[in-house]
A and B are shown apart, each in its own frame.
Chain A
């Protein structure tokens, strides 16, 4: 990867913020409006239809709470990885990134067990608009979790060799964002009953 000749443009930093970090902030800004669109639509519907609470009652709050804990813990590891990268300790940074990835996969496994139960109980994506929102919002978020895990695996394998350590912070920013989206999804989809 690093053999690609980087143009001078990439190395300039008029704002004082590194190019990669700046781009991640803009990525997050565009992601906020995507999730904003889904959650805004969902919220308007929920306000207009109090009876959806009867559907929401069938979600598994404890599984959601456990997953919240898992994601928050993984965010802690992302911070520790950033700290290690700042100290130029690539091996340690990689170790913490792997722990973050472990959190991501734990989240996805819990989620799939949860969904299996709900689908078997007859609550599929097409049974009601509540369930359409439930699976779509959490599904888009799940794709982000998976994408984050893959990116962190790539960055960790570079960081282990001490290459491109500045990326550890950038992926950490993204990971916190994914975490925060879940912090919004959890109360809206699970707790509001």
Chain B
């Protein structure tokens, strides 16, 4: 770093020293000297800036994830064509594109946006304090995350190209360069994932500690908004499940680079061990991203139904229950990996069990809607769509959790469609609900509702037209990971290629509709009509802060909490809402 930027870094700190550590509520927020662009936006310790850094990095990565899926879907619908904007997709390219799409969307879009961006932005605001408990650790966690992004993007351009062994990285394909043909891409991809885990572990510890120790005076356990609970439970799930995969990543990295023999049966190792380590993390990971999505939907549904959340404690306990059960389901990914069939039965049962708490949450949301004064704003549409689409994903999971049916469906497009019916609602539909719901808070302006709804319908309809054909294809035995179906007459029966074309065309339509969102989002930041502090008349504490909140969040003093977060349409009140901090 240059000496001039270090000098500017010390200026506000020196000023702060004069106040000492004992500054009261009123003194806070007023004594921050104007900062350079670098310190305000790129090297800030403010949780809101860090949250937006995660958000915009995640959005940028979503462009990469979207572009890769466009390229390889075009190859599948129109084999051998020169894809506009990419060129001809070779077999090696195809593997790399599929792998990059999977890794990027899960590790660099869903995780940073749902957990890191929303967690950072919302936690201090919604529990009524001025920042995270460890602001510098928070900044470090983003910097390490950014490093992981750089390593991953660099791996696209090294000799041999990006890793092509699928996001699950099963050895021996991932362990030996003579099989995967990406001597640099494979270790770099793994290093990027490991760096990202380190960043999120730091972030998770910060989140959990902040919520445990720094809640506003008066905020008891059951006064914490559901979205904050969901992020905390997700962070704990992540912490408790990622360890074996960090260990596994080190082991696989050593297998790749040092020639160790963890996953090499010739020297006493076992390739299935990786699958256990990976899925012991991989399945709880589904719930790590699902729970924050469920939390977002709870907030949006309650606000726009003007009704108390039907059963706060039930949602909370089912979230914990989901988390606990999610540790005992991982081997349902390995029914055909040669595991003991008796063990497969046990994992079938646990897998079906996990649908109970998730269904319970959905019932609670529907019960909340029942009899409410529903307002179909853009965020509400996204929240309702989440419930409908995620249900389809959940129901198709029943087929795959049953080991007998799974042996037929394994590695077909049915699995892929099921997975996307859960992940697309989580990583996009719920995220759009969150981005549109908290937009007035984040930027102090409204987004355009009409264009918001156009984007909503364009996305939802196109989404279903992508994946319903893939369900049908999967049920007909269409195998995944095939580069060119014209070589497989069994998979070229009448109608099958038409369904592939339909899915691809729908994907292109869906991607085009995202342009509307991006333009609406960024244009509304500067052109949208000004929003008040509490435009949705909601109860939670972030709406007590100005829009957008300044550094320190609450310039009129940190709030005190008097009641739970969901006191809407209370019979004793004139207004149909009752903010948590109102006396």
Contacts and interface: CB of A to CB of B under 8 A. Distances in A.
A15 interface: yes
B269 A132 contact: yes
11 contacts: A5-B13, A7-B131, A9-B213, A15-B212, A22-B209, A26-B239, A33-B243, A36-B243, A37-B243, A41-B262, A125-B258
Nearest to B215: A14
Interface of B: 12-14, 16-17, 19, 21, 23, 25, 28, 124, 129-136, 201, 204-206, 208-210, 212-215, 239-248, 250-251, 254, 258-262, 264, 267-270, 273, 276-277, 280, 552, 558
Nearest to B212: A15
A85 B450 CA distance: 63
Given A5-B16, A37-B246, A132 B131 contact: no
Given A7-B131, A9-B129, A129-B267, A37 B261 contact: no
Given A7-B552, A8-B28, A136-B262, 11 more contacts: A5-B19, A7-B135, A8-B129, A9-B132, A17-B213, A26-B239, A38-B250, A41-B244, A41-B247, A125-B258, A132-B262
A40 B244 contact: yes
Interface in A128-182: 128-130, 132-133, 135-136, 140
A31 B201 CA distance: 10
Contacts of A129: 260-262, 264, 267-269
A32 interface: yes
A125 B273 contact: no
Q: Is the interface of B mostly helix, strand, loop or mixed?
A: helix
B223 to A, nearest CB: 12
Contact of B267 (A12, A34, A128): A128
A22 B270 contact: no
B243 to A, nearest CB: 3
B129 A136 contact: no
A4 B13 contact: yes
A64 B184 CA distance: 37
Interface of A: 3-15, 17, 19, 22-23, 26-27, 29-38, 40-41, 44-45, 49, 52, 125-130, 132-133, 135-136, 140
A127 B21 CA distance: 56
B268 A52 contact: yes
A3 B21 CA distance: 9
Contacts of A135: 260
Contacts of B132: 7, 9
Given A37-B245, A44-B273, A126-B261, A30 B250 contact: no
Given A3-B13, A3-B16, A34-B246, A136 B134 contact: no
A80 B14 CA distance: 35
A22 B239 CA distance: 15
A19 B209 contact: yes
Contacts of A37: 243-248, 277, 280
B205 A27 contact: yes
B243 A13 contact: no
A19 B268 CA distance: 45
Contacts of B205: 23, 26-27, 30
Contact of B277 (A22, A41, A140): A41
Nearest to B265: A129
Contact of B260 (A4, A7, A136): A136
Contact of B247 (A14, A38, A128): A38
B268 A128 contact: yes
Contacts of B13: 3-5
A34 B250 CA distance: 10
Contacts of A12: 129, 133, 213-215
Contacts of A5: 12-13, 16, 19, 21
